[in-house]
Chains A and B, each alone.
Chain A
């Protein structure tokens, strides 16, 4: 991983810098198109809801021999209209047959359960039955959406208090982005939406906010150390923050995706629908969340900040200065840009030292500071 490691170094030092904030028009266009596509998908294809949203029963009976046509016969003999029969092979767990029906009376369902158990030659207690009223999926989702709204409000309040309200707006923008993209993926791919999908989905929202908080924390720090000192404009400082946390973001996402991917694998192997649905939603969402916390949250924040005259004035002043320096031929253009971004490295090294770090950084460290300071002078 030396590759990523050294990329991390160069990103941190500003040797390599992805123009994420600078190209925000491009990102806006790209995401605008993706969002449009997602919304289109929702209207054109719609979402494919699971039985929990439509109401009905799912009966799973373990059997090595029952064929799907046999099961369908039993079901129609019991007066079950239009059953869907699936035969599943569980790795290391044998074979099972699953019947999905529309809403049927309890009596019919119990009859069917008993008949299936008899046909499969197993006790009735070995049969798994799920009976959902048509409102169940909606109930569970409504409740979850309410929870989501409360969470968003609390989150916005938290960000507004401990960060600033523009960060709250930017974070929520990126969140809406994640929601719409994920819905779009589900619409276009035709994947089934179950309550577990909704659960997984909600986690993503928390998760993608978590990502944004880490980036914003760095933006906040850079602002204090660079922007307020007049060394860098807000936009470049924010861009530096995104770059500085890029490796962390990628690392974290990768580490989060690994277990989720294995969860999908485990769910598929054991035919546990809950695990599959959850993991799939997480997989889609973490992807969308990572991308959008990098490409949407911070650019939106910068755009909002640049609406403030003072911020824009400072950025323009610094840009003019850089331009003058370049014209004067003091430094070659390339180095000029590098120093602009490299400056913070030095600044962060020396800048916060007097305020930061209580505790064990005792007298031993004193000479280090003195040295670097005197050297700079």
Chain B
């Protein structure tokens, strides 16, 4: 940057000299444009007071996790981008629901979701986000106290009831279809144990009212298989699944996690035997009747007793259209069971194979798509259940692929290491460039500084703009990029020197060399950019950060070469030091194998004064003539 200031000092002199040639002003115009861009970038930075780039978890400290998706059991849809989008949305809401600020949830590749939580070690949170996955509403066919632990009556024993609003009439088709499926149902499965502690507790608050539903012998299992086109083979399969689950249920021990695992991976259409989350009760459950995706919203509110708030909490449920219909069918069925005492009348909210809650339908079919689950819920129980209902149903199944919790201290050390490496690398590059390019190195070094300034500003501004965060791999990308930026001017300078070797005057050499170097620079930068763009778009994890910075710096490299290096060289070619091929300019024709005669006589003749155009032209002619001649002689005696 310092170099630029000194050059602008020469501005007036140079302008006087170039006055008249329109094209000659171009370098100034390009430099002015670059200045405007830079000032704009830095003004934005200071204006928005974002002065430092956002650091990724591995540098700033915090927890990051990558979840990889697999299709939900029984789903044939596979991993669609729509499902991934939904999952990202749900996870984001979940993270926010846990009250973590500045957490980032993003999709990586085609089947991965990355969650980044800055600041602290949040592994518990990561496990919880990964935990909640597949949610189904299943009818309870049988329930019993868990064999391992005796049931206590202190567990929440919820019940479901229709909303207070007269919503039953709102969906007449729903109730009619409920009846249809109910009456069309097959015979009930063996339900020896009707009584469960849960039901007992729930029914104490029940206020049964006779309903007009066709109630008689319908069982919940029948309603659970409403497939109108069900073939006999499908029914046979269902029966097989049921008897298998029934056997499992009989011997189910809730301390044995394999059973619950089997339940978690079961198809929604399977019968399952599983336990509740406290391992206090075990259930035999029918096929899923409503998927958790059909829950539009759920919230937890305190139960009101008149106008006073009680300590009991309830969960309010809202279903979408499909859910409303299904829920109406299901509750119709269950309620009829309940009134006829032919079944438990319970449905279970099953999350990953574990029963979260099993309310009894004791107030009639719920047709309006709105329901409350009441019972002896504490506030936290109710909140948890509402959260699960809200966010429980991811369309895909997620496994944790990678979790890393980095302490801010370690991240800081690594950042320091990276920056130290960058600084040392830059200084060594500077030394090498000075050694090799002499005077030209001033241009090379200032080019690198301009590139560094632009990169820094971009890294800072892309933070808020597209939530770019600088990771350790990104820092490595920046350091590697020094090489790419340097290559552009190496190509240009080598071309320039080639032209000088061929006996051109520096000014023509600049233009000539540039035309050729430009093509090479663009071609090679294009290849480099292509590599980083493809890597960025297709890869995951740290590769992405690395590819991004590499691509960014490639673009910046082009900008710097076109708007800075080239114009500056053009301007410098007009100075005596460079244009005259001074020994230390890096363009000394003699050193480059041309002849000193190319420049010397003219420079000497003017005695330090700037040459006139005529003088310059004459010198150039002479030089070119001699250059070619001496080339010939030289060739023979080598």
Contact = CB atoms under 8 A, between A and B. Distances in A.
Contact of B490 (A217, A252, A342): A252
A292 to B, nearest CB: 16
Contact of A368 (B429, B515, B534, B624): B624
A266 B428 CA distance: 14
A210 B527 contact: yes
B523 A213 contact: yes
Contacts of A349: 502-504, 628
Given A251-B490, A255-B433, A262-B424, A359 B482 contact: no
Contacts of B532: 206
Contacts of B480: 203, 256, 259-260, 263, 282
A259 B413 contact: no
B625 A258 contact: no
A4 interface: yes
Interface stretch (B179-187, B360-368, B394-402, B453-461): B394-402
Given A155-B527, A272-B417, A279-B476, A12 B515 contact: no
Contacts of A267: 417-418, 421
B442 interface: no
B603 interface: no
A346 interface: yes
Interface string B321-333: 0000000000000
Contacts of B476: 200, 263, 274-275, 278-279
A360 B511 contact: yes
B473 interface: yes
**Which of B426, B491, B539, B628 has the most A CB atoms < 10 Å from its CB?**
B539
A364 interface: yes
Interface string A258-300: 1111111111011110110011001000000000000000000
A140 interface: yes
B523 to A, nearest CB: 5
Nearest to B540: A143
Nearest to B478: A259
A133 B424 contact: no
Contact of B472 (A90, A255, A272): A272
B36 interface: no
A297 B304 CA distance: 81
A56 to B, nearest CB: 11
Contact of A270 (B417, B422, B523, B550): B417
Interface residues on A, range: 35 or more
B486 A368 contact: no
Interface in A1-55: 1-2, 4-6, 8-10, 12-13, 15, 52
Contacts of B472: 272, 274-275
Contact of A144 (B121, B426, B539): B539
B418 A255 contact: no
A375 B406 contact: no
A100 interface: no
**Which of A6, A128, A133, A211 has the most B CB atoms < 10 Å from its CB?**
A128
B530 A155 contact: yes
B487 A338 contact: no
Interface stretch (B141-149, B205-213, B214-222, B613-621): B613-621
Given A5-B592, A213-B524, A357-B515, A266 B432 contact: no
Contacts of B484: 207, 210, 256
Interface string B408-431: 111001101111111011101100
A2 to B, nearest CB: 7
A221 interface: yes
Contact of A128 (B407, B520, B535): B407
Interface stretch (B308-316, B377-385, B630-638): B630-638
Interface in A150-206: 150-151, 154-155, 158, 162, 195-196, 198-200, 202-203, 205-206
A359 B405 CA distance: 58
A258 B479 CA distance: 10
A293 to B, nearest CB: 11
A368 B479 contact: no
Contacts of A270: 413-414, 416-418, 420
Contact of B516 (A207, A210, A211, A221): A221
Contact of A217 (B487, B512, B519): B519
Interface stretch (B164-172, B259-267, B541-549): B541-549
Contacts of A258: 425, 428-429, 432
Contacts of A251: 436, 490, 494
Given A136-B401, A256-B487, A248 B494 contact: yes
B413 A362 contact: no
Interface string B473-512: 1011101101110110011001001100111110110011
B635 A338 contact: yes
Contacts of B436: 1, 4-5, 251
A126 B539 contact: no
A310 to B, nearest CB: 26
B610 interface: no
A80 interface: no
A125 B483 contact: no
A252 B523 contact: no
A102 interface: no
B24 interface: yes
B356 interface: no
A289 B402 CA distance: 32
B79 interface: no
Contacts of A5: 436, 591-592
A255 B421 contact: no
15 contacts: A13-B635, A62-B409, A96-B410, A128-B407, A130-B404, A143-B538, A203-B531, A210-B484, A252-B487, A262-B424, A270-B416, A275-B417, A338-B638, A345-B502, A360-B24
In the A-B complex, the 4 residue pairs with the smallest Cβ-Cβ separation, listed nearest first, are A270-B417, A266-B421, A256-B483, A259-B425
Interface of B: 21, 23-24, 26, 58, 61, 66, 68, 109, 112, 120-121, 123-124, 127, 399-410, 413-414, 416-422, 424-426, 428-429, 432-433, 435-436, 472-473, 475-477, 479-480, 482-484, 486-487, 490-491, 494, 497-498, 501-505, 507-508, 511-512, 515-516, 519-520, 523-524, 526-528, 530-532, 534-535, 537-543, 546, 550, 570, 591-593, 613, 616-617, 620-621, 624-625, 628, 631, 635-636, 638
